[in-house]
Amino acid sequence: MRMVGTVRANHQGTFPMNFAEFHKTLQDKPTYVILGVQGSGTNLTAQILRKVFEISVVRDRSLILGTAASLVGKSSPDNLKRGRDKIYQCLFPSAIRKRLLPRQWFHQAANYQGIQDVLHQTAMTSPAEFADFFYAYHAYVDDCQEKGIKSDDCWQQLDKIDQVIPHRKNILLVRDPRDNANSIMYKDFGPRTVYAASRYVNHQLDLYLRETESHPDTSLTTKYETLLATPHEFVRDFAELSGLAIPANVDERIEQLGIRTKNFDKWKRWSPYDIAVSEAIFGDNLTKLGYDPHSTDSIQLSATAMARLRAIDIAKRIPQRLKSIWEHKVLAK
């Protein structure tokens, strides 16, 4: 990859090197990929990696990763240019467009200050170089020597992640699936019933477990409950995976995060029927991940019962879907 760099000012004054030189220092380093279903604790994981290990974590959603995945097998110069233009326009929309776009598309603009100076002066020949350019530039502005990403929609690109981020190490966050489903129900994108939320979580969880199980030597699986109760345990495990040193003032850094240690077991407020429905959907994944079933009697959902539960969720999500249709129309303009 050939790059023309420029020196930019960061929050401390001036970078000690231009981006091209900085990027070379990252060439042999992995990208740390935080995996996990929305609501499983991936934001907290990103905060710990940044605070304790000074890893620059791109909160990507699906912008960079999804665009890079769409270039697999189609990485012509014209397609790469269109991909770069798309990301730049989403990061830095016009004033009018910004009012209409979801904030997720441009909330990281500050971490890409000055990117226009090198964006079209960098030769990219593959989806991996494309994605790495944006992840590395985020670290450059963030003044970090390590790079990582957290993409809530990563599950949609897992079949192409080997081509997009070949040199990576995975950190999979799992949360009691019932609690994870409960969290999903209160997101502005997610299902609105226990049945639908449990199916949503279980589908993604299966994909993430498959990814980490197929890369055991470069993956770490940890529980959200561990992050809350004993974050130092996660720090030690991650240090072993990454080879990065634990800072001497680790206690102070963790304390500054203000972790809410009691943020779990909210699923216990559900009705006995909802708990039984959720546990029927999660099946072996509960015990596989070390969570005890609550219901004493298993439940078998008939086709009629599942159809009824799906219909209830569809009805509750009508306002949400109308909003999504509007946003997609705006993005397509």
For the segment 168-227, what is each residue's pLDDT rounded down to a tens digit?
999 999 999 999 999 999 887 779 999 999 999 999 999 999 999 999 999 999 999 999
Residue 1 has pLDDT above 90, yes or no: no
> Structural domain of residue 291, as residue ranges?
19-332
Q: Is 13 domain-assigned?
A: no
pLDDT single digits (tens) 294-320: 988 778 888 898 888 888 888 887 776
Q: Is 10 domain-assigned?
A: no
Strands annotated E in the chain = 31-35, 55-59, 146-150, 168-174, 219-223
Distance CA 14, CA 73 (A): 39
Q: Is 3 domain-assigned?
A: no
Q: Is 35 domain-assigned?
A: yes
Q: Is 312 domain-assigned?
A: yes
Pairing mode, if any, of strands 219-223 and 31-35? Answer: unpaired
Residue 43 has pLDDT above 80, yes or no: yes
Tokens of 26: 């990252």
Which pLDDT band, with edges at 50, 70 and 90, does 321 fall under?
low
Split into its structural domains, the chain has a count of 1
What pLDDT score does 48 carry? Answer: 97
Under 8 Å between Cβ of 76 and 259: no
Residue 220 main-chain phi, psi, to 5 deg: -125, 130
Q: What is the CATH number of the domain that holds 97?
A: 3.40.50.300
Q: Is 104 domain-assigned?
A: yes
Mean pLDDT, to the nearest integer, of 150-163? 92
Burial label for 96, CB within 10 Å (0-12, 13-18, 19+), is: exposed
Under 8 Å between Cβ of 184 and 37: yes
Q: Is 42 domain-assigned?
A: yes
Residues paired with residue 35 on neighbouring β-strands, in sequence order: 172
What pLDDT score does 91 carry? Answer: 87
Distance CA 18, CA 20 (A): 6
Which pLDDT band, with edges at 50, 70 and 90, does 130 fall under?
very high
Q: Is 48 domain-assigned?
A: yes
Which pLDDT band, with edges at 50, 70 and 90, does 61 fall under?
confident
Give the rounded distance of the alpha carbon of 118 from its chain centre: 26
Pairing mode, if any, of strands 55-59 and 31-35? Answer: unpaired
